[in-house]
Structure 1
Amino acid sequence: MSLKLGSLMLCVFGITTGEFVLAGILPDVADDLGVSIPAAGLLVTAYAIGMIIGGPVLTALTTRYARKPLIVCLLVIVVVGNLASALAPVYSVLFAARIITALVTATFFANAIVIAASTAPEGKQASTVSKLVFGMNLSMMMGAPIGTFIGDRYGWRATFYVISAVCLLGLVLVLRLVPQVESATVGTTAVAELRVFRNRKVQLAIAITAVANMGLLMVFTYFSPLLTDVTGFADGSVAVLLLVYGVGAAVGNFVGGWLSDRALMPSQIGLLGLLSVGLMGMWAGSGSIAFTTVMVFVVGALGFSVIPGMQTRVLNTAGSAPTLAIAVNASAYQLAAALAGWLGGRVIDGPGLRSVYATAAVVTTIGILLSCYAWYQDRTTADSRVEEKASETSPT
């Protein structure tokens, strides 16, 4: 892997760690700032909404600018946003800092992918981009557990100081190693490609990604209090369990991709079914430390096993705007995160913290129903095309 790609991957790692790590330090943030767990959970919702809104808007407004100066400016905002998070004296300041950081995140990712793909050797664009995206996986497997460990040992503010330092290092490396890439390397504008949202199959694919992932994201948002307050794990165990979850996610991502290549929609429906069962299992066995430890790995694997298939589904339906496909899927995923934080907070205020598992299973089941409907539509369309072709070739 080149140093140029490594510098971009380091930036992706630092930025996404800042998003995922809140799951591990949520109780500490709530205690220090004097707010409830549900209120602290809204920080996740705010970040997601910032990415949903900021991504398409900021990308559309900056398509004319050279890529390297643009991502440098975006990284400066990320560094300042994480420093402001670490220094926030009150909840409202932290809330604003997370939104500001989120507003530039999606645009940074989009431009980093353009730079990685456009400067890759011929025929190596896809594998180059996959290495860049691996920074996101590393943030879950390593960044979130390490950040949680730092928060447990030195306080949650130290976590954001370290994230700022990582992003600052990435900024310095980008300045030195990443070449200039002009906006002319991009084909159509973001505004033109947004027309893909008129396609009903794309709309359904987005809905599936949002709804089917919401249950798992609800559990992940309140991961720390579920493990400590419901199951009885020690606070220091959360970082280790985040690592277990991340390893499961990596395994599930690989297995899910293999299955999706062979039977896209059947595997997606089956894996979502297993995820729903797994979430109900966590609800039923939440009092057992040993069982919950195993299920953290299993649910992480099942939850991420469906993502390759969902991304493939979006790519297949968004044929008129393939460069927007990843952004579409990311927006849907962030929408799921936003709704998950909000709905999980309502559940905690109502039935209680343990009920988050059961509610997540119900939401996942809705995702299964939407997937079944999409599969039915695909088969109906395919049958219609076969019949049309047969009628065209039949003798009159």
Structure 2
Amino acid sequence: MLSDIADSFGMQTPQVGIMLTIYAWVVALMSLPFMLLTNKVERKRLLICIFALFIASHVVSFAAWNFTVLVISRIGIAFAHAIFWSITVSLAIRMAPAGKKAQAMSLIATGTALAMVLGLPLGRMVGQYFGWRTTFLGIGAIAALTLFYVIKLLPKLPSEHSGSLKSVPELFKRPALVSLYALVAVVVTAHYTAYSYIEPFVQNVAGLSANMATFLLLVLGGAGIIGSVMFGKLGNRHSSTLVSSSIGLLVLCLALLLPAAQSTVNLTILCLFWGIAVMVITLGVQVKVLALASDATDVSMALFSGIFNIGIGAGALVGNQVSLHFEMSSIGMVGAVPALIALIGSVLIFRRWPVSLEEQHNH
């Protein structure tokens, strides 16, 4: 919806695109501090507060009378996002029955994938027919419904294993964990360099319609579901192999983005493999992070979410600079460079520290 928002405030699309970087970097900066501030709060109450903030901020987005107000409302949503992702994965794993922890992870991932699949095209369609403000209002309404179910269905969940400020330097003394965090930052930067600008790329470089852009976003997201199902089946035993081969696949997809843009079929197939790769990488690294920091799950996930968002912001910024100063057609090749570095890194890391989630939990 960047183009529509730009039009309504009389701005250029790349100027509005900076909103993505601000949002992602606020999440990155605030994930850990907020997690530590709330680490003693009972989890159900915390979720209720997060949702209240999320809903209120979307109402402000809907009413935003200028771009500054819109950015401020997005920062409110970023605050909610920062805490939400720090606690949900470990809550899901905690509520999962024994031996079902990898499945709990892949259910959360499937939810995330579905959100990406349905969220982007639905948001675009609502925005096209009723204006971008209605999209934000709709998200607020769905969140209000979710809040109702959180209040009704969740049991009281006292905070446990969340870790404290003391666990941060402890975690950074674990070289395997630090290497994984670095890997996440590089691979997410690579992915978002191209992904942030996929819509203008499809329209301006490949010369395809706006509807085709929506369709390709659907394919990318839908492929994520395939990736999460694959990971649910194979992730317990083969996470290292899966992650490294998926990073290899990401390198190929980014390098071939421009040649594939000559044909709709090729571009669709490429988006399918791209979506599978990104989902498997995200899940695989999360499983490994949790295995290496089972004594401080919330702190380790807050750091993971923060570093992930540094990558999103950096990728969006690189994509933005490439589009403004070079050719938008080269976003794929530029993204392939950090992806290749990540591939080499992942092989070295998994050789040095082989570990999987279930092994750790059984010790």
Short-chain TM bin: 0.7 to 0.9
> Separation in 1 of the partners of 2:98 and 2:346?
36
Partner residue, 1:391: none
Q: Which amino acid aligns with 1:76?
A: A
Where does residue 313 of structure 1 map in the other structure? 288
2:146 is the counterpart of 1:170 = yes
The one-letter amino acid of 1:317's match is L
Aligned to 1:47: 23
Alpha-carbon deviation of 1:378?
Answer: 3.7
Matched with 1:147 is 123
Please give the secondary structure, in 2, of the residue aligned with 1:35. coil
Who is 2:10 aligned against? Answer: 34
Letter in 1 for 2:250: L
Partner of residue 9, structure 1: none
Q: Which amino acid in 1 is paired with 2:52?
A: V
1:92 to partner: Cα distance: 1.9
Q: Residue 98 and residue 236 in structure 1: after superposition, are their counterparts in 2 closer, same or farther (change >3 A)?
A: same
Question: Contact 2:44–2:157 (CA<8 Å) still a contact in 1?
Answer: yes
CA 1:286–1:237: 2 relative to 1, 3 Å: closer
- How far did 1:164 drift? 0.8
Partner of 2:266: 291
Q: Secondary structure at the match of 1:190?
A: coil
Give the 3 Å change call, closer, same or farther, for CA 67–321 of structure 1 in structure 2. closer
Match of 2:256 among 281, 284, 295: 281
Contact 1:246 1:300 in 2 (8 A): yes
Count of residue pairs brought into register by the alignment? 354
Equivalence for 2:357: none
5+ long unaligned stretches in structure 1: 1-24, 380-396
Structure scoring higher RCO (CA < 8 A, sep ≥ 6) equals 2
Residue identity over aligned pairs, in percent, reads: 25
Unaligned 5+ residue runs, structure 2? 355-363
- Alignment counterpart, residue 347 of structure 1, candidates 316, 322, 326: 322
**What is aligned with 2:220?**
245
With over 3 angstroms needed to count, the CA separation of the structure-2 counterparts of 1:116 and 1:275, relative to structure 1, is: closer
User: Aligned match of 2:344 in 356, 369, 378?
Assistant: 369
Tell me how far apart the structure 1 counterparts of residues 41 and 237 of structure 2 sit (CA, whole Å).
41
Any conservation in 1 of the 2:194–2:331 contact (CA below 8 Å)? Answer: yes
Output the aligned Cα RMSD: 2.7
Q: Is the 8 A contact 1:27 1:225 kept in 2?
A: no
Instruction: Provide closer, same or farther for how the CA distance between residues 362 and 168 of structure 1 changes in structure 2, counting only shifts above 3 A.
Output: same
Structure 1 letter corresponding to 2:310: L
Counterpart for residue 235 of structure 1: 210
Q: Deviations over 1:130-183 (max 9, x none)?
A: 534532222012222211211122222111111011111112222333333333
Spell out the pairing of 1:3-42 with structure 2 (5 A cutoff): 25-42=1-18
Partners of 1:134 and 1:328 lie apart in 2 by 22
Give the TM-score, by structure 2 length: 0.87
What is the one-letter code of the residue matched to 2:167?
Answer: E
The amino acid that maps onto 1:224 is: E
Give the alignment of 1:207-218 within 5 angstroms.
Answer: 207-218=182-193
Deviations 1:340-390 (A, max 9, x none): 1111111111112111111111121121122233245348xxxxxxxxxxx
Whether the aligned pair in 1 keeps the contact of 2:163 and 2:299 (CA below 8 Å) is no
Partner letter of residue 59 of structure 1? M
How far apart, CA to CA, are the structure 1 residues paired with 2:194 and 2:143?
A: 28
Q: Is the 8 A contact 2:27 2:79 kept in 1?
A: yes
What's the TM-score, normalizing by structure 1? 0.80
1-side partners of 2:104 and 2:284: how far apart?
A: 20
Give a deviation string over 1:80-113, Cα, whole Å, max 9, x none. Answer: 1112222222222222211221112131244445
Contact 1:55/1:104, CA 8 A, preserved across alignment: no
Distance in 2 (CA, whole Å) between partners of 1:28 and 1:258 is: 41
